[in-house]
Amino acid sequence: MRTKNTLFYKQKQAWLLDFSSEAISSDSSIFLADKIERKHGLVKYISSLIPDYRDQKSTTHSYEKILKQRVYLMMQGYEDANDAHYLKNDPIIQSILGGDLASQPTVSRFENTIDKRTIFSILYGWLTRYVQSLSGREQVIIDIDATDDPTHGNQQLSMYNGYYGQFMYNELLFHDGETGQIILPVLRPGNSHSNKWYVSILKRVVRAIKAEHPDIKIFIRADSGFSNAPFYELAEKESLYYAVGLATNEVLKRRIKRAEQAVKHLHLSQQEKHQHFIGFQYQAGSWHAPQQCYSKIESTGIGMNVRHFVSNIPQKDAREIYFDFYVKRGDASENRIKELKNMCFSDRLSNHSFWANFIRLIISSIVYEMFLIIKQMIRKTKYKKAHKWQIDNIRLYLLKAGGTITKTVKRIYIKLSKAFVYKDLLKELAFQ
């Protein structure tokens, strides 16, 4: 007999769907987030930097718990604060977070309590924590990049950006080029140029690093949007090594004209791809001194591909600097920004307040850092395939695992399927 729960009949058997079980969760691997937090304490550290002026006698959820809830649920793929309404009865999530979940209004009030002073305090603390992680390092590579966050409402400092052709916020991100860590996440008004504020922020970052690690070598990588006079002055003053893109102009076109003609001739005569590097001294009108510039001139078969960059890295030729250092920022910076935006939801900045949206960017950055720890844990295992997983793979293959929960007086059992594909990997991570 067909009932309202009947999906279909197969080989005379009725397949039925029912949502009445109370002990099953689709997010049973959320315990991994809590294990990482217990060891590294990132959420606890950031929440300690947020002053709580509420009457504690009438407070149900601490700021630490609210922040933990946002981070854990975003790690599981729940990017909206109102997702808590649908997860309030999930037995594993409830147990991990220690009781009832904070409601969407509670989360919203938390985000909107954040002001400029608090944001600056968090950023200072974030940088301090990063600097402390550099112990034993001989060098650090700082990748600098910016990205757009489209806005869709009447949000503070949401402005039209002609380059992107939309109303937006502008994120400025400093990454560690070797480890992937976010050195600093910065939210800027939508009409900000790529290089707005970045030199003054970079100065703080460099000086904070040198104050704790005076002998460390600092390398900077950035595209042409960050090539400006204040940067080169800072690099000279602070003894920074760098490779920075340079936008083309008429002067540069004239400098490479003969080399471009030669490469084009070789391509036409030999019908083969040719690539040539040249180096020269160049000083833009606003620069305080000439800089060593390089141009990559390449015939592609469909036209010429020319790239200019500026570098002071010693004992390396142009080809080495370009391929062994500069172009690696594509993976080190741009791909990581994609993970932050698309997989950690940093583009969901839908609050009215600019500072409330800034804390959302910081929350997404915490989520990114938590996943970075999981990546590091995975690389310690024998599962080579998983070593290249991005955040969405980790979420799909490891964290989104169905399981049941059983509670006794002294124990809580989380039981996953015997057929779970990556059970051995998850087990190894759980007991690392």
Exposure string of 319-356, with b = 16+ CB inside 10 Å and e = fewer, is: eebbeebbbbbeebbeebbebbbebbbbbbbebebbbb
In a domain, 322, yes or no: no
Over residues 148-152, the mean pLDDT reads 92
pLDDT band at 4 (very low <50, low <70, confident <90, very high): confident
Residues 203 and 292 both lie in one domain: no
300, pLDDT greater than 80: no
Q: How many domains does the chain have?
A: 3
In a domain, 298, yes or no: yes
In a domain, 208, yes or no: yes
Residues 141 and 182 both lie in one domain: yes
Calpha distance 216→134 (Å, rounded): 9
Calpha distance 324→308 (Å, rounded): 16
Closest CA to 159 of 187, 189, 193: 189
In a domain, 350, yes or no: no
Q: Give the residue numbers spanning the domain of 171.
A: 116-244+328-343
Residues 205 and 332 both lie in one domain: yes
In a domain, 138, yes or no: yes
In a domain, 397, yes or no: no
The encoded tokens of residue 174 equal 């400093």
The backbone torsions φ and ψ at residue 139, rounded to the nearest 5 degrees and listed phi first, read -150, 160
Q: Which H or E element spans position 407?
A: strand 403-407
37-51, 64-78, 150-164, 236-250: segment of lowest average pLDDT: 150-164
Please, what is the Cα angle at 149 between 177 and 103, to 5 degrees?
A: 105
Residues 270 and 305 both lie in one domain: yes
Calpha distance 158→154 (Å, rounded): 7
The encoded tokens of residue 164 equal 């992107």
Calpha distance 397→201 (Å, rounded): 38
In a domain, 426, yes or no: no
> pLDDT digits over 181-210, tens only?
999 999 999 999 888 889 999 999 999 999
Residues 197 and 335 both lie in one domain: yes
Residues 54 and 121 both lie in one domain: no
Residues 209 and 334 both lie in one domain: yes
Q: Which residues contact 284 (CB under 8 A, 6 or more apart)?
A: 229
234, pLDDT greater than 60: yes
Residue-level pLDDT at 270: 77
Stated pTM of the model? 0.93
> pLDDT digits over 15-52, tens only?
766 666 678 889 989 999 999 999 999 999 999 999 99
Residues 298 and 337 both lie in one domain: no
Residues 28 and 171 both lie in one domain: no
Please, what is the Cα angle at 163 between 160 and 166, to 5 degrees?
A: 35
Residues 193 and 335 both lie in one domain: yes
Cβ proximity of 148 and 168 under 8 Å: yes
**Identity of the residue numbered 235:** A
Residues 236 and 266 both lie in one domain: no
Residues 87 and 177 both lie in one domain: no
In a domain, 8, yes or no: no
Instruction: Give the 3-state secondary structure of residue 177.
Output: coil
Task: Assign residue 122 the CATH number of its domain.
Answer: 3.30.420
